[in-house]
Amino acid sequence: MHMTNSKTGFHNHKGVMYVDDVSLSDIAREYGTPSYVYSASVIREQYNVLEGALACALPKKKKHLLCYACKANSNIAILKLLRNLGCGLEIVSEGELVRGLKAGFKGNKIISTSFGKSSDEIRACLEADILQFNVEAEAELEMINAIAGQMGKIARVAFRLNPDIVGGGHSKISTGRKEDKFGNTAAKILVLYKRAVEEMEHVTPVGISMHIGSQISQADTFRPGFEQIAEVTEDLRAQGFEITHLDIGGGFPIVYDNEDILDLDEYAGWVKDFIVPLDVHIQMEPGRYMVGNAGILLSQVRYIKTTPSGKFMVLDAGMNDLVRPAMYGAYHEIRPIQNSGRTTTSNYDVVGPVCESGDLFAKGRECQDVEAGDLVALMSAGAYGFSMASNYNSRPLPVEILVDGDNVAVINKPQGIEDIMVRESIPSWL
């Protein structure tokens, strides 16, 4: 059932959940479950809101660049959509670079923030003439210089700062504490900058980068990081070094439950106070914010199992499809797709079919009663959903579908069971 609808994104119409103009029960019927469904209009809206907040805060004549952190969702159709809006790209592997180039990103809008860069990856990034390498370690800087030298190229580099700040909604997504593997101290950056300028012919240092974590809900958390960036910039400039680019990271949160989320205007205010006066090109690396609320994982209830300790809602989606609850204890709202007319509720342990007790999407969650065959949506699954999915338990990866108005496209075909094994072989001596 399609309809012409003024509403975009995920909404209810006559008791059925829609994405834009398309009913999710139709999508389930046609493409099966589990399936990831994304709304192009929500992605556009998120991009425009962030751009709007920054445009208000930043001086008109100074360009800034939002580089979408594609680890959040790296489907090439999503990348193309964001590229068409004017977005740049942040990559963390050679694979993500290849995806970005396939989606049409030019090198001059790509930043590499990968940790432990491989020589092949550095070579591919230099080949693509990317805008900037965010450097994680001295050995990495030496490698970039050496490879650029072999290729007769100059690499633009920025140094990732570790400001020793606790940021992020979970310790596994906090990346700016001194015990984390990421970034360099301010003192080390001074040393690296000096070495790069004085001893390395094939790198040009252009600035500093920082990313302190993900799902950061308080604008205040960013403030000490921005203060440190400003201090390091001033120290470097005092020593005669040029700083033209500052990458101030990502980490903007989305609503999963009913949490208070970052006030973007307050955030933009800190940028205005601490970064704008430095008169640099400003770069940002948002991932989750662009796509998180733009996607759901559509799933069917296989059956209800009652045990002496409770009621399990057994879904056809598992932790291999969406690992965030098992990995981070993350909350995803679970909504029925169709109003069944049932008025009773139960407290369910919502689980998948994977052989792990940790395959648990929600514990004791109060939901409208469901039956085998009912469809549910795991909401806000557009970021770190499919991109973290695996074949664990030899479960094929789900289909990915993009909806835009009344357009529906499969942007990643479902895997078949045979597909999982295509690269495996049995040695002749077995």
Which residues form the interface with ligand PLP (CB under 6 A)?
A: 69, 71-72, 90, 113, 175, 211, 214, 249-252, 285-289
Pairing assessment for the beta strands 399-404 and 22-23 based on DSSP bridges: unpaired
Q: Shortest gap between Cβ of 92 and ligand PLP (angstroms)?
A: 7
Q: Shortest gap between Cβ of 331 and ligand PLP (angstroms)?
A: 16
Identity of the amino acid at 254 = I
Is the bond preceding 34 in cis, omega lying within 30 degrees of 0?
A: yes
Taking 3-state DSSP, the helix, strand and coil percentages for the chain, each rounded to the nearest 5, stand at: 35, 25, 40
Residue pair 176/183 in contact by the 8 Å Cβ criterion: yes
Q: Would you say 31 or 289 has its CB closer to ligand PLP?
A: 289
Q: Would you say 71 or 395 has its CB closer to ligand PLP?
A: 71
Q: Shortest gap between Cβ of 161 and ligand PLP (angstroms)?
A: 12
- At how many degrees (to 10) do helices 119-127 and 94-102 cross? 20
Q: Shortest gap between Cβ of 181 and ligand PLP (angstroms)?
A: 11
Q: Any residues with CB less than 8 A from the CB of 338 and at least 6 apart, and which? A: 15, 16, 17, 25, 374, 375
Half-sphere exposure of 364 (CA within 13 A, CB side): 1
For 333-368, give one letter per residue: b (16+ CB within 10 A) or e.
Answer: bbbbbbeeeeeeebebbbbbebeeeebbbbeebebb
Q: Would you say 200 or 212 has its CB closer to ligand PLP?
A: 212
Residue 61: Cβ within 10 Å count: 5
Q: Shortest gap between Cβ of 168 and ligand PLP (angstroms)?
A: 8
Rounded Cα distance between 86 and 80, Å, is 10
DSSP letter, residue 203? E
Phi, psi of 222 (to 5 degrees): -75, -25
- Scanning 152-286, the segments in alpha helix (DSSP H) are 186-199, 219-238, 264-270
Q: Would you say 18 or 68 has its CB closer to ligand PLP?
A: 68
Rounded Cα distance between 125 and 88, Å, is 15
Q: Is 396 helix (H, G, I), strand (E, B) or coil?
A: coil
Q: Shortest gap between Cβ of 338 and ligand PLP (angstroms)?
A: 32
Of 119, 51, 63, 102, nearest in space to 289 by CA? 51
Q: Would you say 113 or 162 has its CB closer to ligand PLP?
A: 113
Angstrom distances, CA of residue 217 to CA of 182, 214, 250, 337:
21, 9, 12, 29
Q: Shortest gap between Cβ of 261 and ligand PLP (angstroms)?
A: 12
Q: Would you say 105 or 252 has its CB closer to ligand PLP?
A: 252
Strand partners, 189: none
Q: Would you say 225 or 250 has its CB closer to ligand PLP?
A: 250
Active site residues: 355
Q: Would you say 168 or 352 has its CB closer to ligand PLP?
A: 168
Locus of tokens 């080390």: 188
Rounded Cα distance between 156 and 131, Å, is 7
Q: Shortest gap between Cβ of 182 and ligand PLP (angstroms)?
A: 7
Measure the CA angle with vertex 421, ends 418 and 426; round to 5°: 125
Q: Shortest gap between Cβ of 229 and ligand PLP (angstroms)?
A: 15
Q: Would you say 175 or 320 has its CB closer to ligand PLP?
A: 175
